[in-house]
Amino acid sequence: MSGPPGRPLGGIRGPFKGFEEIRVLDFTKLLPGPYATQILADLGCRVTKIELPHFADGARTMPPMIDGVGSTFWMVNQGKECLRVNFREPDGLKRVRALAAEADVLIEGFRPGLMDRVGLGAEDLMALNPRLIYASLTGYPEGGPWRRKAGHDLNFLAVSGFLAAGGGAPSMPATQVADLAGSLAATASILAALVERGATGRGRRVTVSMAETAHSLLPIPLGEALAEGRDPDGPRWWNGAHPFYRLYETAGGGRLAVAALEKSFALALLDALGLERLRGLADDPLAHAETLAAEIGRVLRGAAAAEWEERLKDKDVCVTRVLGLGEARAFMDRLRTEARRTT
Query: Which residue segment(s) compose the domain that 205 sits in?
Result: 9-215
Q: What is the DSSP string of 250-263?
A: -BTT-EEEEE--SH
Question: Which CATH number do you get for residue 131?
Answer: 3.40.50.10540
**Residue 211 within a domain:** yes
Nearest to 180 by CA among 10, 28, 26: 10
Same domain, 317 and 193: no
Q: How far separated are the first and last CA of the chain, in Å rounded?
A: 28
Residues 6+ apart with CB under 8 A from 249: 255, 297, 300, 301
Q: What is the pLDDT of residue 176?
A: 95
> Is 146 within a domain?
yes
Is residue 220 classed as helix, strand or coil in its secondary structure? helix
Co-location of 200 and 261 in the same domain: no
Judgement on whether residues 59 and 171 belong to the same structural domain of the protein: yes
Tell me, yes or no, whether 321 lies in a domain: yes
CB-based contact 100:171 (threshold 8 Å): no
Residue 85, phi then psi, degrees to nearest 5? -150, 135
End-of-domain residue from the set 183, 215, 247: 215
In a domain, 224, yes or no: no
Among the listed residues 57, 104, 153, 179, the single catalytic one is 179
Residue 304 lies in a domain: yes
Whether 256 and 144 share a structural domain: no
pLDDT at 11: 61
- Are residues 291 and 162 part of one domain? no
Q: Where a domain ends, among 162, 184, 215?
A: 215
How many CA atoms lie within 13 Å of 303's alpha carbon, on the beta-carbon side? 14
pLDDT tier at 343, thresholds 50, 70, 90 = low
Residues 188 and 309 in one domain: no
Average pLDDT over the chain reads: 92
Q: Within this chain, do residues 45 and 156 fall inside the same structural domain, yes or no?
A: yes
Query: What phi and psi, each to the nearest 5 degrees, are found at residue 119?
Result: 90, 20
DSSP state of 52: B
| Residue 99: partners with Cβ closer than 8 Å, 6 or more residues away | 25, 48, 50
Q: Same domain for 20 and 163?
A: yes
> Is 178 in the same domain as 142?
yes
Catalytic site includes residue 231: no
Q: Which of 185, 215, 245 is the last residue of a domain?
A: 215
Residue 29 in any domain: the answer is: yes
22 occurs within a structural domain: yes
Q: How many domains does the chain have?
A: 2
> Do 80 and 164 belong to one domain?
yes
Do 128 and 187 belong to one domain?
yes
pLDDT at 66 > cutoff 60: yes
- pLDDT tens digits for 212-232? 999 999 999 999 989 999 888
Q: Which helix (DSSP H) or strand (DSSP E) does residue 306 occupy? A: helix 305-311
| pLDDT over 80 (residue 169) | no
249 and 178 co-located in one domain: no
Residue 198 lies in a domain: yes
Q: How confident is the model at residue 325 (pLDDT cuts 50, 70, 90)?
A: confident
3-class state of residue 29 by DSSP: coil
pLDDT of 6: 46
Here the CATH number for the domain that contains residue 271 is 3.30.1540.10
Can you tell me the mean pLDDT for 319-337? Answer: 88
Does 54 score more than 70 pLDDT? yes
